[in-house]
Structure 1
Amino acid sequence: MALSSVAVFCGSSFGTSPAYAEAARLTGRTLAERGIDVVYGGGHVGLMGAVADAAVEAGGRVIGVIPRQLDDRELAHHGLTELHVVESMHERKQLMADLSDAFIALPGGAGTLEEIAEQWTWAQLTIHAKPSGFLDVAGFWTPMREMLDTMVGQGFVRAEQSGIVSFSDDLDELLTMLAAPPAWTDKWGASTAETPSP
């Protein structure tokens, strides 16, 4: 399938390695240059801001979704194509999911992990049929890849569902993976083809 919009989950800090900011800027710029809308958490700080700034500078459409509590702290980016201010984190994630064809996690903390894990879970339950990917910058997500192998090996994730998430240290390769038609079954064996994305 052709990707028209991708949600990017990432840190509101820059982290300790310059590679993280470089990957954030590359992601924003690449999506913009491919005509893919960037959907993200709406902030101007950290890796979030780097993704948005790079996409805007490359002429892309950037859609931010930020909870009012964070907007009130003046953390919102006001140079975006669209900025949606919502009332809660739950509304933020739902709207980002509705606006996106796929999801990418860059390095980040608990919030980043929680956001990508929720979309992974929704696909597993066929609430939607949208894939998630981890851009493994400088090995940041390697432990997560190993954790998935453990989940499959210990019987908590079906092997057929492991394709819901992809891992790569190469953005082009990851985008190719995310654009492939969904091929997994849900947790109880129904095909994703039976549950079209909203």
Structure 2
Amino acid sequence: MNVAIYCGSSFGNDIIYEESTRILAKKLALKKLNIVYGGSLQGLMGIISNESLKYNNMVTGVITYDLVTKEIENKNITKIYKVDTMNERKAKMEELADAFIAIPGGYGTLDETFSVLTAAQIGHHEKPFAFYNINGYYNKLIDFLENCVKEGFIGKSFVDMLIISDDIDEIISKILSYKAPKNKWVK
């Protein structure tokens, strides 16, 4: 099973993000859940890839040609795909992954997250998506999504389908037992 990890090319302002990313890498490797990620050596992306390699886990990166030098491609990973655009990067990661976990990150992480969630909502895939809610990082985003339900712009089942936890064992367990909701267009 391949798990796409969406995360920042920065470390964040609290060491807990690095520490939790190291734990994530170890626990995924112990369950033989391979990593698909953005291919960078920078920030949390570097932590997830290098820590995963320490545990002999397979790590596949997907990076755009123009980010190879900016984000600094991790040349030590198992496999790398180089693509022309960010949209191609997202599509390739979605294709390669059987599940998705968002850990703290910025615009890129959020872009990847909402691309995958939109695809799930309209039935393009039935893969689980988890927020590894380190240090309550995603609390306000979850509040916003719940408000979208309240205001009638997102169906409740599409927020309920999200796996949200600061416990990686719980996330892995829920990923492995995930059942997708009916897509938006199925009555």
TM-score grouping bracket, smaller chain normalisation? over 0.9
The percent of aligned pairs where both chains have the same amino acid is: 36
Q: Distance in 2 between matches of 1:29 and 1:78?
A: 20
Q: Distance in 1 between matches of 2:44 and 2:62?
A: 15
Question: What is the one-letter code of the residue matched to 2:48?
Answer: V
Alignment RMSD (CA, Å): 1.2
4+ residue segments displaced more than 3 Å: none
- Contact 1:124–1:164, Cα closer than 8 Å, also in 2: no
Measured after TM superposition, the shift of residue 180 of structure 1 is 2.1
CA 1:51/1:74 → structure 2, altered by over 3 Å: closer, same or farther? closer
Say which is worse superposed, 20-29 or 65-74, in terms of deviation: 65-74
Q: Distance in 1 between matches of 2:170 and 2:128?
A: 14
| Stretches of structure 1 lacking an aligned partner (at least 5 in a row) | 191-198
Q: Which residue of 2 aligns with 1:55?
A: 52
Which of these residues, 71, 75, 89, is aligned with residue 72 of structure 2? 75
Q: Does 1:92 align with 2:89?
A: yes
Q: Which residue of 2 aligns with 1:107?
A: 104
Which of these residues, 41, 44, 49, is aligned with residue 44 of structure 1? 41
Measured after TM superposition, the shift of residue 80 of structure 1 is 0.3
Q: Which residue of 1 aligns with 2:155?
A: 158
Q: Distance in 2 between matches of 1:163 and 1:131?
A: 11
Please report the TM-score for the alignment, with normalisation by the length of structure 2: 0.96
| Stretches of structure 2 lacking an aligned partner (at least 5 in a row) | none
- Contact 1:163–1:183, Cα closer than 8 Å, also in 2: no
- Contact 1:86–1:92, Cα closer than 8 Å, also in 2: yes
Q: Does 1:20 align with 2:17?
A: yes
The aligned runs of 1:102-181 (5 Å cut-off) are 102-181=99-178
Secondary structure of residue in 1 paired with 2:66:
helix
Measured after TM superposition, the shift of residue 105 of structure 1 is 0.5
Measured after TM superposition, the shift of residue 74 of structure 1 is 6.4
